[in-house]
């Protein structure tokens, strides 16, 4: 029986950040170590330096662990290669559904009023207004932009790669490209393909394996989850703005739900993908055992 | 001064945690939760998951341990950690260093009692 190994390749150490007046400042949101920071179950800190800009973000991975939804070592890096095909497809499509919802909601509400709320006070009443281009157009463009970002060619981010156990030096396995070419990894390169719904077990280490960074299974879970969360949150904000424009003096607590949609959807999709990957690993293990 | 004194034990413990984890894994491969329990049985080595998992990640990144998915009787599959060849060599080196160090320290402490 070939053991199924977690498809991790160790992350490069996090590069130094700028600190301004005690606040961490981040300007490289597409770096793997930065991106994974906002969903890192191994890190027990609830607040981590922001993905982009100054300040801190919530570590949604730590929240998921505290809620008992994941274990601390259920990491994206280890499980990305085992995400089933149908989950990977859904993750790719969702940002576009969110973006389409945002555009459709903005188009439908465009003529509902001449001024739309752009801000709400602590009692959920609209506190400032702007033209539709500002209140509806910008969130819609943001939703489309983030959906586009989610489809840009993938960096070799979550292509996992285990440490070479036979290596004598301390070189991080991530740099050991020869190992990848030998096929001795159960990572994204050996992950489930479109034609199969379970992760393929690691191949014979002596057998060469083609490296396929665009393999359907090596979906960048977090990027698609972030894009989906942002696009659906933008659609929700637009819907709330249109509703508040129709009744500008009324409180609209739905704005809270609209803003909360971003972390909820991002974390929910990531946890869901990881759990489906775990189920996939279990199916494969049972298949090997029978 | 008081702060420095209170930091010392945790710094000492931090230094031996790698050896403690490698020693448990040298006996038998196991998963994170079991490692936490094994360490908790020894009061001086009790650590939280917030310390253990980053440590396991670091040991994996150094190629000293590897992980394998194994079925769990309860819940989803678990990641079992085991020593690699390099890890076994490092473990043996660390044991030798520890013995030498602890003998020297015991000797020193006896002299100054």
Task: Give the tokens for residue A93.
Answer: 């499509």
Instruction: Calculate how close chain B gets to A165, using CA atoms only, in Å.
Output: 5
Answer yes or no: do B76 and A275 touch at CB < 8 A: yes
Q: Return residues 32-71 of B near A (CB < 8 Å).
A: 32-33, 48-50, 52-54, 56-57, 60-63, 66-71
Q: Which helix (H) or strand (E) holds A130?
A: strand A126-130
**What does the pLDDT read at residue A120?**
94
- pLDDT band for position B25 (cuts 50, 70, 90): very high
Q: Which positions ≥6 away from A55 have C-beta within 8 Å?
A: A23, A24, A49
Chain B residues touching A162 at Cβ < 8 A: 60, 66-67
Instruction: Calculate how close chain B gets to A8, using CA atoms only, in Å.
Output: 9
Query: How many other CB atoms sit within 10 Å of the CB of residue A158?
Result: 28
Query: How many other CB atoms sit within 10 Å of the CB of residue A134?
Result: 14
Chain A residues touching B91 at Cβ < 8 A: none
Rounded to an integer, the average pLDDT of B34-63 is 90
User: Mutate which of A1, A4, A6, A9 to test chain B, going by most B C-beta atoms within 10 A?
Assistant: A6
Residue A58 CA to residue A239 CA, distance in Å, equals 26
Task: Give the tokens for residue B29.
Answer: 């491969």
Q: Which positions ≥6 away from A284 have C-beta within 8 Å?
A: A4, A82, A198, A199, A201
**What does the pLDDT read at residue B50?**
87
Task: Specify whether the CB–CB gap between A270 and A76 falls below 8 A.
Answer: yes
Chain A residues touching B60 at Cβ < 8 A: 8, 10, 162-163
Classify A6 as helix, strand or coil. coil
Interface size, chain A vs chain B, as Cβ–Cβ contacts under 8 Å: 89
**What does the pLDDT read at residue A66?**
93
- DSSP secondary structure string for all residues of B28-78: --EEHHHHHHHHHTSGGG---HHHHHHHHHHHHHTTSEEEEEE--SSSS-E
Residue B14 CA to residue A192 CA, distance in Å, equals 40
Classify A23 as helix, strand or coil. strand
**What does the pLDDT read at residue A16?**
58
* A146 burial type by CB count under 10 A (0-12 exposed, 13-18 middle, 19+ buried): buried
Residue A76 CA to residue A220 CA, distance in Å, equals 9
Fill in the DSSP letter of residue A136.
I
Global pTM reads 0.76
Answer yes or no: do A167 and B79 touch at CB < 8 A: no
**What does the pLDDT read at residue B12?**
79
Rounded to an integer, the average pLDDT of B41-64 is 89
Helix, strand, coil share (%) of chain A residues, nearest 5: 50, 10, 40
**What does the pLDDT read at residue A36?**
76
**What does the pLDDT read at residue A32?**
64
Answer yes or no: do A285 and B67 touch at CB < 8 A: no
Residue with tokens 């080196």: B93
- What dihedral do alpha carbons A174, A177, A180, A182 form, nearest 10°? -140
Helix B49-61 with B2-27: angle, nearest 10 deg: 60
**What does the pLDDT read at residue B37?**
94
Rounded to an integer, the average pLDDT of B15-24 is 93
* A111 burial type by CB count under 10 A (0-12 exposed, 13-18 middle, 19+ buried): exposed
Would you give per-residue pLDDT tens digits along chain A (290 residues)?
445 565 555 444 455 567 777 777 776 666 666 667 788 898 888 988 887 778 888 899 999 999 999 999 898 888 988 999 999 999 999 999 999 999 999 999 999 999 999 999 999 999 999 999 999 999 999 999 999 989 876 544 443 443 343 444 333 332 222 233 333 333 333 333 323 333 343 443 333 333 333 344 345 888 899 999 999 999 999 999 999 999 999 999 999 999 999 999 999 999 999 999 999 999 988 887 76
Q: Which positions ≥6 away from B41 have C-beta within 8 Å?
A: none
**What does the pLDDT read at residue A31?**
63
Chain A residues touching B74 at Cβ < 8 A: none
Chain B residues touching A286 at Cβ < 8 A: 71
pLDDT tens, residue by residue, A225-238: 999 999 999 999 99
**What does the pLDDT read at residue B66?**
93
């Amino acid at each position: 029986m070939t053991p199924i190994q977690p498809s991790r390749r160790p992350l490069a150490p996090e590069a130094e950040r700028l600190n301004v007046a005690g606040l961490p400042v981040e300007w490289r949101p597409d770096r793997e170590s930065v991106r994974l920071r906002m969903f890192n179950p191994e890190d027990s800190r609830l607040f981590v330096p922001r993905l982009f800009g100054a300040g801190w973000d919530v570590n949604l991975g730590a929240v998921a662990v505290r809620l008992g939804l994941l274990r601390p070592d259920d990491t994206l890096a280890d499980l990305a290669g085992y995400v089933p095909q149908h989950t990977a497809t859904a993750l790719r499509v969702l940002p576009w559904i969110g973006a389409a919802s945002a555009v459709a909601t903005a188009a439908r509400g465009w003529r509902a009023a001449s001024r739309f709320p752009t801000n709400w006070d602590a009692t959920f009443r609209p506190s400032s207004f702007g033209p539709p281009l500002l209140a509806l157009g910008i969130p819609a463009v943001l939703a489309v932009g983030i959906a586009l970002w989610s489809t840009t060619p993938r960096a070799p981010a979550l292509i996992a790669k285990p440490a070479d156990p036979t290596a004598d030096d301390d070189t991080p396995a991530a740099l050991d490209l020869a190992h990848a070419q030998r096929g001795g990894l159960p990572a994204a390169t050996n992950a489930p393909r479109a034609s199969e719904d379970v992760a393929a077990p690691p191949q014979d280490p002596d057998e060469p394996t083609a490296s396929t960074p665009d393999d359907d299974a090596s979906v960048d879970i977090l990027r698609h989850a972030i894009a989906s969360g942002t696009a659906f949150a933008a659609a929700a904000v637009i819907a709330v703005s249109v509703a508040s424009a129709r009744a500008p003096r009324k409180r609209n607590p739905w704005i809270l739900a609209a803003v909360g949609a971003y972390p909820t959807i991002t974390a929910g999709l990531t946890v869901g993908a990881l759990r489906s990957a775990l189920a996939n690993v279990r199916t494969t293990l049972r298949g090997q055992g029978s | 001064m008081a702060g420095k004194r209170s930091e010392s034990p945790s710094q000492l413990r931090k230094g031996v945690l790698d050896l403690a984890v490698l020693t448990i894994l040298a006996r038998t491969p196991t998963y994170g939760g079991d490692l936490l329990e094994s360490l908790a049985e020894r009061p001086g080595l009790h650590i939280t998951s917030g310390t253990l998992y980053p440590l396991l990640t670091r040991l994996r990144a150094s190629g000293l341990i590897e992980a394998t998915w194994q079925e769990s009787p309860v819940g989803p599959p678990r990641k079992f950690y085991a020593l690699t060849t390099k890890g076994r060599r490092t473990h043996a080196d660390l044991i030798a260093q520890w013995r030498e160090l602890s003998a020297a320290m015991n000797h020193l402490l006896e002299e100054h009692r």
